[in-house]
């Protein structure tokens, strides 16, 4: 098996760390389906798309459901829910309520380790649109709505919509704030309905009441792209790649720099090797709500739900990040945990209080807090589980717990003051400017220094493209924010001393326009 690079933007290969250019490479292990035709990093316009893939078929609802069942199509956004069951649930709810339906495509991808939405929407947008329209026509939906957060994805999709015939199901594109929790189902539909893009906390499935309160089929970009391919080549053709139990291909985001299409069942070690790297100290799978595989487990794992489940892991949205041997796992974990705390919706205690407490305790572990720090960390992780308004606290606690299990000696050595002497290199990707608190050798350095002083190195920053001058931030964080004569914050970035961290977190949480963020 060989890895064929089909397109590239940015630095080649993925060994080591994310490139400064922010570019990604596209590759396929074996025949490409979703990434077919994107040689040289091209974007397939409508003509190029039809040349590569042909015209999409039209199918009745029963045919789409039967196809999804035959190929065991599951949501590729992380949960892996059977797509056929989603279709049935939406159709049943619409029939019971005598209501129309809607289709929502989740292209928000707030997970920094994931790039497949970016790859599909920037290079093969028509493939995703075809799958969404196919499902919408089968359900009799009134519209297809794409939720995205990146301006390049929005631009590519709008071009694609303009290239398509005007008849058929209307396709709408909406850009939402770029936050980790924006992709949660209720947050996405609320944002598309002109509300805050935050989890509602209500246990109501979108298949019952989603966009505009209508029964809504919601899935991510890869799911609809896979449906689009399967509808063209049929179930038998689709099953020519992959495993009998998990047919087809899978998109993997590797080290936050490369998106590779591989057959289900491909050996994980082979994928890593052909991409120029190895398992290092361990491999993170499933992103920042996922967990770590040891080098031994990674050596026998395959890219499949069954294999990873047997090893105590899950592929999730397809993120795979090996940890090189020259970086500190404790510092990397702390850095990500802090970022995850800052990315929370801040609407419930486990998020608003629990996640910052976990990050604080991880810093305490780094600063030689001993057994009390490790015990407190376990207690604080337990305190957030199954108590949040959404899955963000559980996922973050799972990530930290997996790191503790994967690197027990590292955490113990740091807790007793021995450290490891290795720097925190930022190999676990975050959004630019975020989570840099642990930069010194062995996960200490800057993090230890700022923890002992009033200066945290963090700033409360304003996104001027979102700020509407409500002025609420000055009331919530009077020690940080001063308003100008027009009612907007007088500064774009305000230092956050340790004593004002709670004020900054509340200001971020309560900003009606989601225009504030803590960085640094």
| Nearest C-alpha neighbor of 374 from the set 352, 405, 398 | 405
Task: Note the pLDDT of residue 170.
Answer: 95
Read off the tokens for 374. Answer: 């490790």
Helix, coil or strand: residue 141: coil
Q: Is the pLDDT of residue 13 over 80?
A: no
Read off the tokens for 186. Answer: 């209720």
The CA–CA distances, whole Å, from 396 to 16, 60, 239, 386, 392 equal: 24, 41, 35, 12, 6
| Nearest C-alpha neighbor of 283 from the set 259, 304, 254 | 254
Segment 220-226 mean pLDDT: 96
Read off the tokens for 129. Answer: 């649109």
Using an 8 Å Cβ cutoff, are 244 and 310 in contact?
no
Among the ranges given (85-99, 106-120, 397-411, 503-517), the one the predictor scored with the smallest mean pLDDT:
503-517
Task: Note the pLDDT of residue 223.
Answer: 96
Task: Note the pLDDT of residue 248.
Answer: 97
Give the bridge partners for 495, in sequence order: 459
| Nearest C-alpha neighbor of 466 from the set 109, 186, 156, 182 | 182
Task: Note the pLDDT of residue 440.
Answer: 38
Using an 8 Å Cβ cutoff, are 290 and 319 in contact?
yes
pLDDT band at 509 (very low <50, low <70, confident <90, very high): confident
Residue 499 DSSP one-character state: G
| Nearest C-alpha neighbor of 343 from the set 178, 502, 467 | 178
pLDDT digits (tens, 9 = 90+) for 379-413: 999 988 888 878 889 999 999 999 999 999 999 99
Looking at per-residue pLDDT, the higher value among 221 and 197 belongs to: 221
Rounded to whole angstroms, the Cα distance separating 35 from 240 reads: 17
Task: Note the pLDDT of residue 78.
Answer: 75
Task: Note the pLDDT of residue 492.
Answer: 87
Rounded to whole angstroms, the Cα distance separating 38 from 491 reads: 43
Task: Note the pLDDT of residue 15.
Answer: 34
Global pTM reads 0.80
> Could you tell me the maximum CA-CA distance found in the chain, to the nearest angstrom?
67
Q: Which residue has the tokens 């939906």?
A: 141
Q: Is the pLDDT of residue 281 over 80?
A: yes
| Nearest C-alpha neighbor of 440 from the set 450, 431, 432, 430 | 450
In sign, the C-alpha dihedral spanning 425, 428, 432, 435 is: negative
Using an 8 Å Cβ cutoff, are 261 and 1 in contact?
no
When the pLDDT of each residue in the chain is averaged and rounded to a whole number, the result is: 86
Task: Note the pLDDT of residue 12.
Answer: 33
Among the ranges given (141-145, 235-239, 500-504), the one the predictor scored with the smallest mean pLDDT:
500-504
Rounded to whole angstroms, the Cα distance separating 358 from 374 reads: 11
| Nearest C-alpha neighbor of 263 from the set 53, 32, 70, 8 | 32
Q: Is the pLDDT of residue 79 over 80?
A: no
Q: Euclidean distance between the first and final Cα of the chain, in Å?
A: 43
pLDDT digits (tens, 9 = 90+) for 32-43: 999 999 877 789
| Nearest C-alpha neighbor of 329 from the set 365, 358, 302, 360 | 365
Q: Is the pLDDT of residue 453 over 50?
A: no
Beta-sheet pairing, 144-148 with 291-293? unpaired
Neighbours of 483 (CB within 10 A): 14
Among the ranges given (25-34, 157-166, 174-183), the one the predictor scored with the smallest mean pLDDT:
174-183
Q: Is the pLDDT of residue 298 over 50?
A: yes
The CA–CA distances, whole Å, from 280 to 284, 399, 412, 427 equal: 11, 18, 20, 12
Task: Note the pLDDT of residue 441.
Answer: 38
| Nearest C-alpha neighbor of 34 from the set 273, 230, 320, 267 | 230
Segment 491-510 mean pLDDT: 84
pLDDT band at 292 (very low <50, low <70, confident <90, very high): very high
Q: Is the pLDDT of residue 348 over 80?
A: no
Q: What does 440-484 look like in DSSP terms, one character per residue?
A: SBTT-THHHHHHTSSEEEEEEEE-TTT-----HHHHH-TTT--B-
Task: Note the pLDDT of residue 52.
Answer: 96
Task: Note the pLDDT of residue 478.
Answer: 86
Percent of all residues in the chain with a pLDDT value above 90, rounded to a whole number: 57
Q: What does 145-163 look like in DSSP terms, one character per residue?
A: EEEE--HHHHHHHHHHHHH
pLDDT band at 302 (very low <50, low <70, confident <90, very high): very high
Segment 84-111 mean pLDDT: 94
Segment 150-169 mean pLDDT: 93
Using an 8 Å Cβ cutoff, are 221 and 104 in contact?
no
pLDDT band at 282 (very low <50, low <70, confident <90, very high): very high
Alpha-carbon torsion angle 354, 79, 317, 310, nearest 10: 100
Segment 41-67 mean pLDDT: 95
């Amino acid at each position: 098996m060989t890895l064929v690079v089909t397109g590239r933007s940015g630095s080649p290969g993925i060994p080591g760390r994310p490139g400064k250019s922010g570019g990604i490479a596209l590759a396929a292990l074996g025949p490409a389906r979703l990434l077919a035709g994107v040689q040289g990093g091209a974007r397939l316009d409508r003509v190029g798309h039809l040349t590569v893939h042909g015209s999409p078929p039209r199918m009745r609802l029963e045919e789409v459901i039967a196809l999804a069942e035959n190929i065991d199509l599951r949501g590729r956004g992380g949960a892996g829910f059977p797509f056929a069951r989603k279709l049935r649930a939406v159709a049943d709810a619409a029939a019971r309520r005598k209501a129309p339906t809607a289709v929502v495509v989740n292209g928000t991808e707030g997970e920094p380790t994931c790039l497949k939405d970016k790859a599909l929407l920037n290079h093969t947008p028509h493939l995703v649109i075809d799958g969404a329209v196919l499902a919408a026509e089968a359900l009799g939906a009134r519209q297809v709505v794409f939720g995205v957060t990146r301006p390049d994805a929005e631009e590519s999709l709008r071009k694609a919509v303009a290239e398509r015939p005007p008849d058929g199901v209307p396709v709408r594109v909406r850009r939402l704030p770029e936050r980790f929790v924006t992709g949660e189902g209720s947050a996405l539909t609320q944002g598309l309905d002109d509300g805050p893009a935050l989890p509602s906390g209500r246990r109501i499935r979108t298949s019952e009441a989603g966009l505009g309160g209508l029964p809504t089929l919601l899935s991510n970009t890869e799911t609809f792209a896979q449906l689009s391919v399967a509808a063209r080549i049929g179930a038998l053709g689709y099953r020519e790649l992959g495993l009998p139990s998990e047919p087809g291909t899978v998109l993997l985001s590797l080290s936050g720099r490369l998106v590779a299409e591989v057959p289900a069942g491909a050996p994980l070690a082979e994928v890593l090797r052909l991409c120029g790297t190895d398992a290092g100290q361990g491999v993170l799978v499933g992103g920042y709500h996922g967990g770590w595989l040891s080098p031994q487990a990674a050596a026998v794992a395959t890219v499949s739900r069954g294999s990873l489940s047997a090893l105590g892991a899950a592929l999730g949205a397809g993120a795979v990040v090996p940890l090189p041997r020259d970086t500190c796992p404790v510092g990397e974990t702390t850095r990500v945990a802090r970022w995850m705390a800052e990315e929370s919706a801040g609407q419930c205690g486990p998020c608003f209080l629990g996640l910052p407490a976990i990050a604080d305790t991880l810093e305490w572990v780094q600063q030689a807090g001993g057994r009390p720090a490790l015990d407190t960390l376990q207690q604080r992780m337990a305190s957030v589980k199954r108590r949040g308004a959404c899955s963000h606290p559980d996922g973050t606690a799972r990530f930290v717990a997996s790191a503790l299990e994967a690197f027990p000696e590292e955490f113990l050595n740091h807790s007793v003051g021995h450290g490891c002497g290795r720097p925190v290199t930022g190999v676990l990707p975050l959004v630019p400017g975020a989570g840099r608190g642990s930069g010194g050798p062995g996960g200490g350095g800057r993090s230890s220094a700022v923890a002992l002083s009033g200066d945290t190195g963090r700033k409360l920053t304003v996104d001027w493209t979102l700020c509407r001058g409500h002025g609420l931030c000055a009331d919530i964080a009077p020690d940080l924010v001063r308003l100008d004569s027009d009612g907007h914050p007088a500064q774009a970035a305000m230092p956050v001393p340790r004593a004002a961290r709670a004020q900054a977190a509340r200001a971020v949480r309560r900003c009606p326009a989601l225009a504030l963020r803590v960085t640094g």
